[in-house]
Amino acid sequence: EAGVAQSPRYKIIEKRQSVAFWCNPISGHATLYWYQQILGQGPKLLIQFQNNGVVDDSQLPKDRFSAERLKGVDSTLKIQPAKLEDSAVYLCASSLLAGARTDTQYFGPGTRLTVL
């Protein structure tokens, strides 16, 4: 079974530029998550989708971050404009069921963003 795919793996941009990350979850997984992992910390949830609807975006900085999940499958996370403090690894995860709190989340390899 293929895992969660993410691209690009690495991205370096200047502050105030825009950047987009792409995620393809495990086939058939209803729920998709985006996490931000700052160096030395555990991942922090940014947004959660069930199918193509947003369940939780309470920790998403909506003035600069946006995300969508096209047709309930792939997802993109965008930052516009980027700040220095956005330097982090952005992890995408998916889980099989919709509405199952204890369902296991499976993570992709992440995108390492460096903002200069």
Partner 1 sequence: AQSVAQPEDQVNVAEGNPLTVKCTYSVSGNPYLFWYVQYPNRGLQFLLKYITGDNLVKGSYGFEAEFNKSQTSFHLKKPSALVSDSALYFCAGLSGAGSYQLTFGKGTKLSVIP
**Which residues of this chain interact with partner 1, rule CB under 8 A?**
4, 6, 31, 40-45, 48, 55-56, 91, 93, 101-102, 104-110, 112
CB of 43 to partner 1, least distance (A): 5
- Collapsed DSSP state (helix, strand, coil) of residue 84: helix
Give whichever of 38 and 116 is closer to partner 1, judged by the CB atom. Answer: 38
CB of 70 to partner 1, least distance (A): 21
3-state secondary structure 16-69: CCCEEEEEECCCCCCEEEEEEECCCCCCEEEEEEECCEEEECCCCCCCCEEEEE
Give whichever of 28 and 40 is closer to partner 1, judged by the CB atom. Answer: 40
Give whichever of 80 and 113 is closer to partner 1, judged by the CB atom. Answer: 113
Q: What is the DSSP letter of 23?
A: E
